[in-house]
Chains A and B, each alone.
Chain A
């Protein structure tokens, strides 16, 4: 039982990281219909800058994270302003290719600094610290990942529900022209979406980096696992992104923990494909994901 709880706890924390990445995908997709393939590299850049600020510039952890968030938000907003804005009305495919371009640019940018190998993560607590309870080790990083993810979700909920710009973003997502006719500045809502996505990506990046103890320029690959999470939750649903992320995290870690019992059937490394398997299975039954909008069409 303790083993199960240990795995479920780690899975929940891992799922929270997926959830944060998935949130970024979903917020950008909802507001502008763009699937941002650079989401993972925003996470890498965030974790990288936090680490550089903490170890090369000897800054306090919180200051380092703050700088990392500011820089990634700036990258997201500038990218939206300089590249994507010119693409409004162009084929979605072309827009997606541009985000892949940004992905490559960011990753090579990090490599080009020459500091990206074996990076220690910026962290306010020692990586092994935590509390033991009933034979289960609750790692400090896992606990904080879960708490901060919950706080992020709560903050986003308040933002979308109660603020003027949150309402503007929801309205724009539902009907762009009607929102524009109301005087809602669609460009501002796009920029906000990119800013929020970049900020949550950085937060996810900082926790993920602590979790893997040292990281390099491949850290952003996690976005590939967060992708099944958004498909699972339904591409355009924000609660769906969180639920999808947590499910993927739990399933992945539980498979990892128990797969030694079934190696003779599935072989090793089965856990790496479980997110995709889950996604394919769900798509067979519910093509719109768990919470996605079902488009009703009459032909």
Chain B
């Protein structure tokens, strides 16, 4: 359904963030995109959804097709209308708007009122906690609820393909389990999912196929089950290492904790 071929992206004409990435998302199921910070995962998502210009980025090479249509030059509004919705990293809710208003904003690209009502009911059925909190400001929800709202807001556009950027970020393990179950449910209902994660364990348990990115290139592309058995993935992404030798952590790219600028 979605196909990236030899995609290359540059920021400000100088920084090559993604260099010749090809990947494919089928019409059903979950595809995982793994990689450390700065590997280019979010850049790929931005390229798909037309958010690159906002960051001073540009596709310099390659193509993106969605259901056999070229979308690399479409703007964000058109891409949402074609059926691709993105849940941004860090949830990015409209904190001062209510849950209800966040959901309605998610349906902005949909013109059909009946379709909006259907999506709205579907989202509230999927996330019953949100139903009770429809009138409270999104900023007052707990971390897990905020992630649910972010996913729900993405679903309001009634997408054929949902792009999720780090849905497990900053959540407690029990919440991660819950979010996993929800992603499985969304996928089972027929929406394709491209899941970007640093939590490889979670991503590979959901996905049928996975790609591992390293510094803007695809380092590995295999069915998820094989990735789970892969030595490199086990060592560097799952933290499982059998044998007496210590893993060569020098190979692992430095992971800096994210700096917090605001509360």
Give me the interface of A with B, judged by CB distance under 8 Å: 89, 164, 167-168, 170-171, 174-185, 295-298
Contacts and interface: CB of A to CB of B under 8 A. Distances in A.
B86 A181 contact: yes
Nearest to B80: A183
A170 B94 CA distance: 9
A296 B263 contact: yes
B261 A182 contact: no
A182 B102 CA distance: 10
Contact of A181 (B49, B56, B260, B261): B49
Contact of A167 (B95, B105, B261): B105
B85 to A, nearest CB: 8
B76 to A, nearest CB: 5
Q: Chain B interface secondary structure, helix, strand, loop or mixed?
A: loop
A183 B49 CA distance: 9
Size range of the chain B interface in the assembly: 20 to 34
8 contacts: A167-B104, A168-B108, A182-B106, A182-B109, A182-B157, A183-B108, A184-B105, A298-B260
Given A178-B93, A184-B109, 4 more contacts: A167-B101, A167-B108, A183-B108, A184-B108
Contacts of B85: 181
A170 B97 contact: yes
Interface string B85-102: 110100011111100010
Contacts of A89: 56
B51 A177 contact: yes
B140 to A, nearest CB: 15
Nearest to B106: A182
A296 B81 CA distance: 36
A184 to B, nearest CB: 5
B178 interface: no
B94 A175 contact: yes
A167 B260 CA distance: 29
A184 B85 CA distance: 12
B153 interface: yes
B109 A171 contact: no
Contact of A177 (B79, B92, B101, B261): B92
Q: Which are the 10 A-B pairs with shortest beta-carbon distances?
A: A183-B109, A183-B80, A178-B92, A171-B105, A174-B94, A183-B77, A180-B76, A184-B108, A181-B86, A296-B263
A181 B109 CA distance: 10
Contact of A180 (B51, B81, B260, B263): B51
Given A171-B97, A175-B94, A180 B54 contact: yes
A295 B261 CA distance: 11
Given A171-B97, A171-B105, A181 B263 contact: no
A171 B105 CA distance: 7
Contacts of A295: 262
Of B51, B93, B95, B105, which is in contact with the most chain A CB atoms at under 10 Å from its CB?
A: B105
Contacts of A167: 97, 101, 104-105, 108
B94 A178 contact: yes
A179 B56 contact: no
B28 to A, nearest CB: 23
A26 B21 CA distance: 44
B170 to A, nearest CB: 16
A171 B81 CA distance: 18
A175 B138 CA distance: 13
Contacts of B80: 181-183
A181 B94 CA distance: 12
Nearest to B81: A183
A182 B50 CA distance: 11
Contacts of B101: 167, 170-171
A298 B263 CA distance: 7
Contacts of B157: 182-183
Contacts of B92: 175, 177-178, 181
A296 B261 CA distance: 9
Given A182-B108, A183-B109, A171 B260 contact: no
A224 to B, nearest CB: 31
Nearest to B107: A182
B153 A182 contact: yes
Contacts of A176: 54
B262 A181 contact: no
Contacts of B86: 181
B76 A183 contact: yes
Contacts of A177: 51, 54, 88, 92
Contact of A297 (B54, B81, B153, B262): B262
B263 A182 contact: no
A46 to B, nearest CB: 31
Interface string B248-263: 0000000000001111
A171 B94 contact: yes
B138 to A, nearest CB: 10
